[in-house]
Amino acid sequence: MPRLKTLAPIYAYKDLSKALKKGLIDKELTQLDLAARMGVSDSSIGRWIANPDKMTVDQLRSLVTTLGVDMIPVLKALGFKERDVKKMEGEENA
């Protein structure tokens, strides 16, 4: 699975980082809580929030699902083209 850095415009990552931080606050979760729910280290969560372009699409999907966020609007906000979003939807349903 490709890294997000290769798929979205660079300006989108600051917005994604802010949205992930807001998601944690809205859900009243710490990075440690989120890490435990996802089965990853809290340092991974910290790295992904600080540098979301380092995540794979699968990692982003897992993160937003755990936060209870719909993946498709996130991808569209990152600047993904409609055909790419549909392709990822197909992968998710496969």
Q: What's the pLDDT tens digit per position in 5-49?
A: 555 555 567 778 888 888 889 889 999 999 999 999 999 999 998
Report how far apart, in Å, the C-alpha atoms of 67 and of each of 13, 48, 63 are.
Answer: 17, 14, 6
* DSSP letter (8 states) at residue 67: T
The whole-angstrom separation of Cα 55 and Cα 49 is 9
Task: List the alpha helices (DSSP H) in the chain.
Answer: 12-26, 31-38, 42-50, 57-66, 71-77, 82-93
Residue 84: is its pLDDT beyond 80?
no
Q: Domains in the chain and their CATH numbers?
A: 4-93 (1.10.260.40)
Paired with 56 in beta bridges are 3
pTM over 0.75? The answer is no
